[in-house]
Amino acid sequence: MAEIIDGKALRNKILADLKSEIEKYEKKPFLAVIIVGNDPASKIYVANKKKTALELGFESVVIEMPENVPEIELLKKINELNADKNVNAILVQLPLPPHIDTEKVIESVLPQKDVDCFHPLNTGKIAQNARPFVYPCTPKGIITMLNEYKIPISGKNAVVIGRSNIVGRPLAAMLTNLDATVTICHSKTRNLKEITRNADILISAAGSLGLVSADMVKKGAVVIDVGMNRNENGKLAGDVDFEAVKEAASFITPVPGGVGPMTICTLMTNTYELFKLQNNL
């Protein structure tokens, strides 16, 4: 029976430490978030980000732009935030509407204020095992959990399901940098089960309800669930069949209460790190 990794408790601990840490500064870290359109999930995520920032005593602003905003207006706003000395961290919530070139938007954020680590300068740094200004929120949150639970990474077989720019790709690169032997699987992967059964650390970031069943998991594996799906009752659920898989795994993250809280927590620690870098603290 697996030990359940408590992302919420770890988040609370890290944020409490962060809150007392920033009390010593007169000036506070400033996170600016841009949201375009009315995607309901994005609206909830953004509201949570702002709430957490304000609870910590950070400065935060959410800039809402309409679904049909011209790309040039969005780029102008990002340039303003880039130039604003008070703003330490910029986050443009994804996905963006189809008329906007997401690549162009990501590249317009100053790498020093790129709190998501989406800019190619920063992702390129990870690919080279060099140092980005900050690491991407979800992958870093996962590594923080593994470290907290003293789960070794070096030399382990890590299998990542999903190759998104937000989670799968950077996470695979970061695990490689930490000396894991990494396999990336995705929707075209053949014999998924054969590969996942070889994983010491199995991370599912596919966004596919119930994708990971118990027969795909090696006994004693560590299972990390990044999925945020709605089940048949409309409840939040992951990619992993939690009840069945927890019998075989040694550690497992629940949904909700696992990776999700760690992502927001890392967004806050990243904002603080950028604040320190920009103020030579």
Residue 270: how many other CB atoms lie within 10 Å:
25
Q: How far is the CB of 46 from ligand GUN (least distance, A)?
A: 9
Q: Which of 93, 122, 266, 269 binds ligand GUN (CB under 6 A)?
A: 93
The token pair at 218 is 């090696």
DSSP state, residue 76: H
Tell me the CA end-to-end span of the chain in Å, nearest whole number: 45
Segment interacting with ligand GUN (CB under 6 A) among 89-97, 146-154, 186-194, 273-281: 89-97
Secondary structure E strands in 154-228? 157-161, 181-185, 201-204, 222-225
Catalytic annotation on 17? no
Instruction: Tell me whether residue 93 is one of the annotated catalytic residues.
Output: yes
Q: Which of 6, 116, 225, 273 binds ligand GUN (CB under 6 A)?
A: 116
Determine which residue in the list 14, 143, 166, 172 makes contact with ligand GUN, applying CB under 6 A. Answer: 166
> Measured in whole angstroms, how far is the alpha carbon of residue 174 from the centre of its chain?
13
Residue 94 binds ligand GUN (CB under 6 A): yes
CB of 181 to ligand GUN, least distance (A): 26
Residue 36 binding ligand GUN, by CB under 6 A: no
> What is the spatial distance between Cα 77 and Cα 75, in angstroms, rounded to a whole number?
5
Of 209, 87, 189, nearest to 199 (Cα)? 189
Q: Nearest distance from residue 263's CB to ligand GUN, in Å? A: 6
According to CB under 6 A, which one of 18, 137, 158, 212 is a site residue for ligand GUN?
A: 137
The active-site residue, picked from 28, 77, 93, 246, is 93
Cα 219 from Cα 216, distance rounded (Å):
10
Residues that bind ligand GUN (CB under 6 A): 91-94, 116, 137-138, 166
